[in-house]
């Protein structure tokens, strides 16, 4: 087998491709011969040494990756979720984390599906109880999670405003069904957000961090919920490693939400990291059952993917960190 290993925190040069014997599945496990591997921004944070659950559950060296799609020894085409270890040609996972690929989907589309769609589903339905008429603002709406949030919110009957960071991303988010798309490079983000929903938003989904958190909270309607699932703008684009002075300054600038003020404002702030939820097999099974059902019914279209060979994993990370990509990136062994 081939496997990407990161010996210690650092830049793209830390992504090392190893050749090793194939792993062997034990009782209750399944061996998946990976034909496609999903790439997520979290993988980049793991490489930089800033992902706390990676330190808690694995440590160094570590193989990143939360999702693969491929074939089992008995010939089944499957998609699997894993807490790290996915950047490999052969991956062993618990049986309850293996699912049939949706009918008509490619392995690359299937590998791009679980992490972003589970994240979006958890935010919208476990935390926010999204329903018809809910006013939703999605930051980074052209990315993997952002795209999934737009699609799932529209399926729930929400009114969706998507925010993107470039003109080349607008058409993609419009095609996903967003009611309004704001290009924050060319437009005044918050003026346009107020124009799109003068009464404020019931839900704002924010993975930007300090750049938008304060204003996201301010633009909530009464009973509104701000959901935080990342801090992308704290990372410096293009360098591959953290800028510690920038991290320190952004940490100091990050708003602290006062529960007394929140009670008086009648607004909520919630945050989560999906990698801590693997013990909740009930949530995983229910969510994957729902999402795969939507996919098989044709209500959930395959995600837009861009593929990279596994031996170009450094290029995939570099592209993802540029902030210019659309949809999901997938490694193909």
Across 7-28, average pLDDT: 97
> How is the chain split into domains, by residue range?
2-113+302-332, 116-275
Q: What φ, ψ does residue 306 adopt, rounded to 5°?
A: -125, 130
Q: Express each pLDDT in 91-100 by its tens digit.
A: 999 999 999 9
Q: Express each pLDDT in 160-192 by its tens digit.
A: 999 999 999 999 999 999 999 999 999 999 999
Q: In this predicted structure, what is the pLDDT of residue 277?
A: 87
- Report residue 70 CA to chain centroid gap: 20
Q: Express each pLDDT in 116-157 by its tens digit.
A: 999 999 999 999 999 999 999 999 999 999 999 999 999 999
- Pick from 138, 230, 213: which is nearest to 178 by CA? 138
Q: Does domain 2-113+302-332 have CATH number 3.90.180.10?
A: yes
Fold of the domain built from segment(s) 116-275: Rossmann fold (3.40.50)
- Pick from 191, 202, 194: which is nearest to 157 by CA? 202
- Kindly indicate the confidence band of residue 84, based on its pLDDT and cuts at 50, 70 and 90: very high
- Strands of 98-187, DSSP E: 98-100, 135-138, 159-164, 180-183
The tokens for 251 are 């940490």
Q: Express each pLDDT in 191-209 by its tens digit.
A: 999 999 999 999 999 999 9
Q: In this predicted structure, what is the pLDDT of residue 239?
A: 86
- Say if residue 70's pLDDT is above 90: yes
Across 57-72, average pLDDT: 98
Q: Express each pLDDT in 259-309 by its tens digit.
A: 999 999 999 999 999 999 888 999 999 999 999 999 999 999 999 999 999
On whether the pTM is more than 0.75, the answer is yes
* Percentage, residues of the chain above pLDDT 90: 97
> In the beta sheet, which residues pair with residue 159?
135
Q: In this predicted structure, what is the pLDDT of residue 237?
A: 83
- Say if residue 236's pLDDT is above 90: no
- Say if residue 238's pLDDT is above 90: no
- Say if residue 68's pLDDT is above 90: yes
**160 contacts 178 by C-beta, under 8 angstroms:** yes
- Pick from 287, 293, 332: which is nearest to 309 by CA? 332
The mean of the pLDDT values for the chain is: 97
């Amino acid at each position: 087998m081939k496997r990407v290993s990161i010996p210690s925190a650092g830049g793209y040069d830390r992504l090392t491709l190893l050749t090793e014997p194939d792993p062997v599945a034990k009782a209750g496990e399944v061996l998946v011969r990976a034909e496609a591997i999903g790439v997520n921004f979290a993988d980049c944070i793991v490489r930089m040494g800033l992902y706390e659950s990676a330190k808690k559950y694995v440590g160094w060296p570590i193989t990143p990756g939360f999702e693969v799609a491929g074939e089992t020894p008995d010939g089944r085409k499957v998609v699997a979720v894993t807490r790290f270890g996915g950047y490999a040609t052969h991956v062993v996972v618990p049986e309850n984390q293996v699912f049939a690929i949706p009918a008509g989907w490619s392995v690359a589309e299937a590998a791009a599906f679980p992490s972003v769609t589970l994240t979006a589903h958890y935010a919208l339905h476990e935390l926010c109880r999204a329903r018809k008429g809910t006013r939703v603002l999605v930051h980074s709406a052209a990315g993997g999670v952002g795209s999934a949030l737009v699609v799932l919110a529209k399926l729930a009957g929400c009114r969706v405003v998507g925010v993107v960071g470039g003109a080349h991303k607008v058409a993609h988010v419009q095609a996903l069904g967003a009611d309004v798309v704001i290009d924050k490079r060319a437009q005044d983000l918050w003026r346009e957000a107020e124009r799109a929903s003068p009464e404020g938003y019931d839900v704002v989904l924010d993975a930007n961090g300090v750049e938008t958190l304060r204003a996201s909270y301010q633009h909530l309607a009464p009973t509104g919920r701000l959901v935080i699932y990342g801090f992308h703008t704290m990372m410096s684009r293009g360098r591959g490693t953290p800028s510690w002075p920038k991290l320190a300054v952004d940490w100091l600038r990050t708003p602290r939400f006062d529960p007394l003020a929140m009670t008086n404002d009648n607004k909520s702030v919630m945050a989560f990291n999906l990698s801590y939820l693997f013990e909740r097999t009930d949530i995983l099974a229910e969510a994957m059952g729902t999402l795969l059902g939507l996919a098989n019914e044709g209500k959930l279209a395959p995600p837009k993917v861009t593929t990279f060979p596994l031996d170009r994993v450094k290029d995939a990370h570099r592209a993802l960190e540029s902030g210019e990509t659309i949809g999901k990136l997938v490694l193909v062994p």
